[in-house]
Amino acid sequence: MRWRLLWLLCAAARWWGAGGKTLRGGFGSAAARLDPWRPVARFQFYGDHAVLCVRIKNVAAAVTKAARLHLFQAQEWQKLQNGIEDQSCTEKFSKAQLTMTVNHTEQNLTVSQIPYPETWYVFYVDKFTCEENYSESEDIQFEMVLLNPDAEGNPLDHFSAGESGLHEFFFLLVLAYFVTACIYAQSLWQTLKKHGPMHTVLRVLTVALLLQAGSALANYLHFSSYSKDGIGVPFMGSLSELCDIVLQVQMLYLLLSLCMGWTIGRMKKSHGRPLQWDSTPTSTGIAVVVVVTQSFLLIWEQFEDTNHHSYHSHHGLASGLLIGLRVCLALSLAAGLYQIITVERSTLKREFYITFAKACILWFLCHPCLATIAVIFREYQREKIITMGVILCQCISMIVLYRLFLSHSLYWEVSSLSSVTLPLTVSSGHKNRHHF
């Protein structure tokens, strides 16, 4: 529980500094001079009537400092940064695709004729940015609103091209969970009340589904508010991240414990006897190390991408290590289950292991596979493909596991949880009863 409390504090800290596509702050000459290449905003415009709106309070200071906003397309800015020729600060900023002189209380800049959605960077520049001489001056307090055209062509959409469609997706996902809960909640509750041999597994899966539903609901509430003001409810975004992290750790805990228990049991016991497993320092140690490692990488990933309200990002070192860990886990569990399947004589047990292996592989490999496939798409499409695809694949994986454990009576197989980390209670009658 300690790492969960730690993440709550981290999420709260991120909430206070989070922002959306309505940005408020101050244009500072000192900050711009110290790091002129740091953008004040990043947005994926699309359509013919996208708008950047800027409101400032102290117009006199902006006029005195000759304040300007320079907009660069991502590809052009990368070419400029990677250029062989040594260009000065002023020469680089002079090549901006669009420039706005900030000298009125409210100004609009239309970004038009965009052939396809592309990322644009907004930089603040004044007369001190590229000069050696600098005198102290007050910051220019501003509010910046970045808007794309809506379905009718009016610049009223706060969502960038990479975020469009996510609001509707999370609405449909929450609706699907609500309808499913109305249909199956009562029967599932009755099954859990029986406290049968599958009670712990079903309870863990139920909590996992609730966490995913909670994450979807938090994202939907955030995007609903975001669509109105461009800020949303950042706390809900952090809450969604928290639910995602706990979900990933809990499912890893379940799948790894089950697979390790079966593998250790096969190594220790003969095939003709009921499988009974004893906990070992090796099995427990491996489970703890893997869970702690994934928890650390998930939290690290959130701090690497502070503008991202999901764990499905594939940028940065932490995300790369997390993808590598998931691939290794999928291969390890698949290898262990393959050894069990090849020596299993019971057809029903073999089908059980095969279905379980498919669910594990889908759970762990959906993110790496989708991140690889997304590379062939444009930048604004990648995040949506990964986010939607991973959520749907993991939903399918949990449904498959639910059906598997509800429809099979492999009681002593599931009791392997008690030998690793999950305390599964199995009655004495089930321990010694053969079903195959």
Nearest to 377 by CA among 158, 162, 78: 162
| Cα 384 to Cα 318: distance, rounded to the nearest angstrom | 20
Nearest to 41 by CA among 165, 174, 146: 146
**Does residue 295 contact residue 249 with C-beta atoms inside 8 Å?**
yes
- Provide the CB-side half-sphere exposure for 207 (13 A, CA): 13
pTM score of the predicted model: 0.80
Please report, in tens digits, the pLDDT of each residue of the chain (436 residues total).
Answer: 434 434 433 443 333 333 457 888 898 888 888 888 888 988 888 888 889 999 998 888 889 888 999 999 888 888 877 765 677 888 888 889 999 999 899 999 988 877 788 889 999 999 888 887 777 778 899 999 999 888 887 888 888 888 888 999 999 999 999 999 999 888 888 777 777 666 778 888 889 999 999 999 999 999 999 888 888 888 888 888 889 889 998 898 888 877 776 666 555 554 443 333 334 566 666 777 888 888 888 888 777 766 544 545 556 788 888 888 899 989 988 888 888 888 877 787 788 889 989 999 999 999 999 989 998 998 888 888 999 999 999 999 999 998 888 776 444 444 444 444 444 444 444 444 444 4
Which two tokens mark 103? 């000298």
Which two tokens mark 307? 């503008």
Q: How far is CA 281 from CA 27, 195, 289, 415, in A?
A: 57, 29, 12, 18
| Cα 186 to Cα 385: distance, rounded to the nearest angstrom | 34
Beta pairing class for 140-149 and 50-56: antiparallel
- Which residues touch 161 (CB under 8 Å, ≥6 apart)? 44, 45, 46, 117, 118, 148, 380
| Cα 186 to Cα 193: distance, rounded to the nearest angstrom | 11
Which strand ranges, in their side-by-side order, compose the sheet holding 41-45? 41-45, 118-125, 68-73, 98-101
